Amino acid sequence: MLTTNAHLCVGTVPIFAHLPQSVLEQLEALVQHTQFAQGATLYAAGTPAAALYIIHQGQVKLAQTSADGDEHILRVLTPGDFDGDHALFIAATHQASATAMAPVSACVLYQKDFQHLLLTEPALSLPLIQALTQRIETLEQRNTLATTPVGTRLGTYLAAQADTTFTLPMKRQDLARYLGTTPETVSRKMKQFEAAGWLKQAKGNVITILDRHALANQA
């Protein structure tokens, strides 16, 4: 794990994006810019949560391991995503482990530093509340999606990608765990979607969306 000041990421994160430049500069002075190698643990389940992690580059999986050793991926963080926001306000314990799926560059903001700034810069409060509200809505949608057929889960996930052509942000095995299914089912459904003319697959897990509406609404 290395520390560097090579980038500024706070301004790219939704909860901070609309803050005055003066506040962004104060935040930037507080964060620790840290790099993690692929496979490295950002934090482990059961450890104290005392910081906000903002992903600048790479992907991070948040996962829990069951008593029989099965891994369940709760969420995958990509550039601009964040985790640990609750730790900025309360004493908490990580319920999942965070692991770098690729080399990761992150901004780490610690609770004690953030709380001091929040007391002196009330303008930070409103955008933070809005971002957390949106996150709650996303989690509620995820819980609802978990009860739907696998094809619907996969189609909704693909349709939600911002770009028309993109590389899957995780390996298919991890995507299967994220969706609560098997890699074989993911591959079979992808082929079905391709045969239907809804998407095109290329080498390197590159996907081109041809019919976003059909993907988002198929059963």
Average pLDDT, the chain: 83
DSSP, collapsed to helix, strand or coil, labels residue 200 as strand
DSSP, collapsed to helix, strand or coil, labels residue 48 as strand
Judged against a pLDDT cut of 70, whether residue 187 lies above it is answered with yes
**Per-residue pLDDT reduced to its tens digit, 85-132:** 778 778 889 989 999 999 999 989 998 898 888 888 777 777 777 766
DSSP, collapsed to helix, strand or coil, labels residue 143 as helix
pLDDT band per the 50, 70, 90 thresholds, residue 6: very low
- Token couple for 7: 């980038």
Give yes or no for a contact between 96 and 41, defined as CB atoms under 8 angstroms apart. no
Mean pLDDT for 13-34 is 78
Q: What is the dihedral of CA 90, 92, 98, 103, to 10 degrees?
A: 40
- How high is the pLDDT of residue 5? 37
Judged against a pLDDT cut of 90, whether residue 190 lies above it is answered with yes
